[in-house]
Amino acid sequence: MSRRPRLGAIALAVTVAALLTACGGDDGDSSAAPSEDAATSETPAAEEAPSGTVTVLAAASLTESFETLADQLQDTYPELEIVYSFGPSSGLVEQVLAGAPADVLATADTKTMDQAVAGGVVDGEPEIFARNTLALAVPAGNPGNVTGLADLANPDLRIAICEPQVPCGGAAQRLLDAAGVTAAPDTLTTDVKEAASLVALGEADAALIYLTDAAAEGDAVETVDVPEADAVVNDYPVAVLSEAANAEGARAVLDAITGEPGRGILTEAGFLEP
């Protein structure tokens, strides 16, 4: 019986070219007499550049940002193929713990990443690369006349909230607890993208989703001000996996996520800096 990862979302292929800079690498013949023009003949050791396929399992809320990152990396790393699989963080961790082949894991909270660390599938310490907060999202025009978190307890409204085991669901519960609201959800979604889609399509009157996902829906979704939301923040960690088949390529992708252009792309999408 084989188990395969649920590669439900988006797979991107990015071809990458020269990664390592410098290193002139060639030791040359040190015993030979120095030549005056030796310094002009060095070229980068292109054969040392990372190549092959890197599989990245990433939280659904990172979809648009990581797709943009892949587009930007294409020119820089044309010989490295990046395959993304987006989904709920808890589900991604379950896949990794079950032995699903992958090189990099990026989750939407530290709780799920901690499960991967405890399971011994992470190489080294995860790095926090972004943070995110929730928004109370409603369809364009706010047909349910939602004015605040208290309306999530209204049984006459169609409410969508993430399942409690996924990061957006955990954050939603913390926010509701802080506001003293007991929500009456009609739908518990498997990830934040499903909740955002229900609102955008007008199939839910309100949902608690990440601010970045509300922004990603464009004019189809509006947000209602929730002052308490700033107090509930999810940290996003990323790590190379211990069984990564392409550890060198995985490290190059992680460096891109935690550095530039990743930092700029995530900030533009509405993520907070760590």
Q: Which residues are annotated as a binding site for molybdate?
A: 61, 89, 192, 210
Q: Tokens for 232?
A: 């509930």
**Do residues 83 and 11 lie in contact, with contact meaning Cβ atoms separated by under 8 Å?**
yes
Cis status, amide bond into 261, omega within 30 of 0:
yes
Tokens of 274: 């760590």
Beta bridge partner(s), residue 135: 209
Q: What is the DSSP string of 175-189?
A: HHHHHT-----SEEE
What is the residue type of 246? N
Q: Rounded distance, CA 152 to CA 168, Å?
A: 16
Instruction: Name 177's bridge partners.
Output: none
79 torsion bin: left (phi>0), alpha (psi -120 to 50), beta (else)? alpha
Partners of 58 in the β-ladder: 86, 106
Alpha-helix residue ranges (DSSP H) falling in the chain = 63-76, 89-97, 110-118, 167-179, 192-200, 211-216, 247-258, 262-269
- β-pair type (233-241, 104-106): antiparallel
